[in-house]
Every structure is written in structure tokens, then in C-alpha cells.
Amino acid sequence: MRKSAHTPAKVALITGGATRVGRAIVKRFAAAGYNVAFTYLNSVQEAAQLATILHAAGQPVLPIRADLTRPTQACRIIFQNTLKKFGRLDVMINNASLYEPGDLDQTTLPPAQRLMAIHFHSPLLLCQAFAPFLRKHGGHIINMLDLLAERPWKHYLAYCASKAALWNLTLSLAAELAPKVTVNGIAPGVILWPEDYPVAQQRKYLARVPLRRAGTPGDVAELAHFLATEGSYITGQIIRVDGGKSIT
């Protein structure tokens, strides 16, 4: 339901919101009456299509093209455009991600720095920039994590380490921004399989999942919405959306 003309709509910012899980989160918050800003980089057509869909439904939306592997520049663009368009921020969801392989011998400094930039440095700078606005409105920060931050795969060394840095940042921010702002993390298991992931391997993985299925983008979007609306007494938590995989 839309807010009345006398009550400004709340504003949500979702990084990496043009595709996959981020897209589901954008649509969930827009449907709930939020004004939504979302970032994208290479998914130009998907971002334009999503914006067109939401505009047609009468839902204010702001696509922002930004390269979060270049944190200082990207965060300045995101901050300036979001405030110019909406003037406030209530919910920030750090979802943008890169999933790049590399074991110890394969991992060089440039890809490691790129992964740290998108998973740690950019969320840190965005939190710094928007903290006064989130405090003012009793806002919420949600960081999208990964079970691999706890149980790293050797073939994704830098990816897992950078997600672990964001995991720790989540806990630190929850302590620092309390009591005005809640900060939580969502750590999904398998939500969407990589396009080239073998079916036999999918079945092998799901056999170890107590609920015997992969999750959906909607599962994550619903939890994010809950944390930003009903979860006012939840902070400093990492919630695993994994069908029970983390207990096996």
C-alpha cells in the first residue's frame, strides 16, 4: 500500500539489484511501498527492464550504474544520486557480489583486491556515508553473505575471505550503530545454481540438505523485508537461509 501524501515513503537501497536475488529484493521492497534505488554495472538491459516494470506499476525507482570494485567513486555516485532523488534512506542492502574462483597458487593480488573492494570496502564506505540518515530514521542494514565465509572452499580462496570480512563487519556495525540502526546478515546456501553447474553435482549437494531442495530468490527477499519491517529487536545476527545445510 502506498504511503499517504503526508507520510514520506521509506527508501531502500539495494546494490546489485538488477538480476537474480537482488532483483527479487528490489521487487519485494517496491511492492511493499518503498521508494527503491538499486545499483547495477553490466546488467544494463535487465536494469532498464526492471525500472520500466516498476515505473509502470507506479513505484518510484532509481537505477544507478556504479562499479563497486572502485569503492570511492562508486559510493560517491550512489550517495549523491540516492539523496538527490529521495532525500533519505531507511534500508541499505549490500548485495552486489562477484563469485570468482582461485586457489592459493591462482590467486594474485588484483582479483583479491577486486573481491575485497566489492564485498568489504564498498559496504564499509556506504555505511559510513549513509549512517547519519539511517540513524535519523531508525534504519536497517542487511549484508548478503555466504555460508562459504564459515566453511571456505579452497578453490574460492579470495572470495571466501572477502565474504568473511563482510561477515565480521556486520557484527562490528551492529554494535557501533546500536541502538538506532539494526545490522544483520543473510547467509544463503544454494539459491540459484550457476548456469554450467552439472546436474549430478546439484543432486549430490541437495542430498545433504535436510529440506532436499534449493532455495529461491523469494526466500531471501522475504527475509530481508522481515528484517527491515518486523525485525526491530534483531541485530548482530547472521541468518542462514540454507535449508538446514549448515547443521549437516
Give long-range contacts, CB 8 A cutoff, 24+ apart: 145-148. 145/170, 145/185, 145/186, 145/187, 145/188, 145/238, 146/187, 146/188, 147/187, 147/188, 147/189, 147/240, 147/242, 147/245, 147/246
Catalytic residue among 159, 197, 205, 233: 159
Q: How many Å separate Cα 27 from the centre of its chain?
A: 13
Task: Give me 194's grid cell.
Answer: 550457476
Write b or e for each residue in 130-145: b if 16 or more Cβ atoms lie within 10 A of its Cβ, otherwise e. bbebbeebebbbbbbb
Q: Whole-angstrom Cα distance, residue 183 to residue 176?
A: 10
40 labelled catalytic = no
- Report DSSP state, residue 156: B
**Residue 37, number of CB atoms within 10 A of its CB:** 25
Q: Catalytic site residues? A: 159
